[in-house]
């Protein structure tokens, strides 16, 4: 099955309102004329409405970086799925390694956030991945399997139509270490095999799995050429128009 490549930028806690609107405009203007990939941007909450309006006539979809487990109520500072959807969010990241590491999110909490996203008509981008310690200990396959089974596999095959997986090799993000295309492909193939075993070939074949390990212009083409890598979750490079559009173009032309 041919899966449409997806390049999703994660701006994290970066950009002012002015620079955010300028950047998304520059990205839209720099998209290839014959775009053969999807382009998503996870922006800070406070910019979502404006960016969604500014990109309404472009291929770019705007989403959020997190979501509350709660629908509404006395939860100061929380943002619900209904709120996100009402301001134009199309998707939301759940289980990002920084949420797991800095905010103590467990697979169980993340599963609840996926449910919250789906109930609010948002696509959930489920992030999973192992740390350097886990990889060095040889536990990376077990870690990924547990994250999938606890965080994702209680959902139905129908629900998976609105879920994208993003593999984050935490050990290769900002550490100076690099995951080779072969290492990245190995884990992506492992994830797809887990999907195959749980849901069958049809679901496994159509599920998109993104690579979230410092994908940049200098490694984009080789990584995106791997058979089970269906795009990227881009951090730092998504903040630079030339770099992000280079990656988008690489995805658009990948075989």
Active site annotation includes 168: yes
- In degrees, rounded to 5, the angle at the alpha carbon of residue 114 between the alpha carbons of residues 120 and 12 is 95
186 is catalytic: no
Catalytic residue among 38, 98, 130, 168: 168
Q: What is the DSSP letter of 238?
A: G
Residue 169, helix vs strand vs coil: coil
Helix (H, G, I), strand (E, B) or coil at 87: coil
Q: Give the C-alpha separation, 102 to 105, whole Å.
A: 8
Distance between start and end Cα atoms, the chain: 12
Q: How far apart are CA 220 and CA 68, in angstroms?
A: 32
Q: Which of the residues 38, 96, 98, 130 is marked catalytic?
A: 96
Catalytic residues, by residue number, are 96, 168
């Amino acid at each position: 099955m041919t899966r449409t490549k997806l390049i999703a930028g994660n701006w994290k806690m970066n950009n002012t309102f002015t620079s955010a609107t300028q950047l998304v405009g520059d990205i839209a203007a720099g998209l290839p004329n014959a775009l053969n990939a999807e382009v998503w941007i996870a922006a800070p909450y406070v910019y979502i409405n404006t960016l969604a309006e500014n990109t309404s006539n472009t291929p770019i979809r705007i989403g959020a970086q997190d979501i509350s487990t709660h629908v509404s109520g006395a939860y100061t500072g929380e943002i619900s799925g209904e709120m996100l959807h009402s301001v134009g969010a199309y998707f939301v990241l759940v289980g990002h390694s920084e949420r797991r590491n800095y905010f103590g999110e467990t697979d169980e909490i993340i599963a609840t956030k996926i449910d919250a996203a789906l109930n609010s008509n948002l696509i959930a981008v489920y992030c999973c991945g192992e740390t350097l310690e886990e990889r060095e200990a040889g536990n990376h396959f077990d870690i990924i399997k547990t994250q999938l089974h606890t965080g994702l596999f209680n959902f139905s095959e129908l629900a998976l139509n609105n879920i994208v997986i993003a593999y984050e090799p935490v050990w290769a993000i900002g550490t100076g270490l690099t995951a080779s295309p072969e290492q990245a492909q190995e884990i992506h193939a492992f994830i797809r095999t887990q999907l195959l075993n749980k849901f069958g070939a049809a679901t496994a074949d159509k599920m998109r799995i993104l690579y979230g390990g410092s994908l940049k212009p200098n490694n984009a083409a080789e990584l995106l050429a791997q058979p089970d890598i269906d795009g990227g979750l881009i951090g730092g490079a998504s903040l630079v128009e030339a770099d992000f559009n280079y990656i988008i173009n690489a995805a658009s032309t990948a075989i």
